[in-house]
Amino acid sequence: MNHFIIYALDKEGGAPIRAANRDAHLAFLRAKSDVKVCVAGPLLDDDRMIGSLLIVQAANEMAVHNWLKSDPYGQAGLSKSIAVHPYKWVIGAPETA
């Protein structure tokens, strides 16, 4: 399994979309799938959520992109941009299965 970082920024005025879909998004992240979420949380501007940062494990980058298609935030059109990058976890690396 490889690690990937997902960096997503909300579109302008996305706060109501985020609020309406947050519970479903969190359930999606916790659900068992081929993509394992290692770290997840919102990006902040002061106390306002403006995006998301995730570190996930997956077989390859295509698996991450396919998985993201089912994310309630993505389906609701929250993001103005989503970047997926391979990541090498060096310090504080989690146990690998």
Which residue ranges make up each domain of the chain? 2-87
| pLDDT for the residue numbered 92 | 86
CA 52 from centroid of its chain's CA atoms: 6
| pLDDT for the residue numbered 97 | 45
C-alpha span between 14 and 35 (Å, rounded): 26
Taking only the tens of pLDDT, the chain with its 97 residues reads 999 999 999 999 999 999 999 999 999 999 999 999 999 999 999 999 999 999 999 999 999 999 999 999 999 999 999 999 999 988 987 665 4
Coil, strand or helix at 94 = coil
End-to-end CA distance of the chain, in Å?
A: 9
| pLDDT for the residue numbered 89 | 87
Q: Does the 2-87 domain belong in CATH 3.30.70.1060?
A: yes
C-alpha span between 27 and 11 (Å, rounded): 22
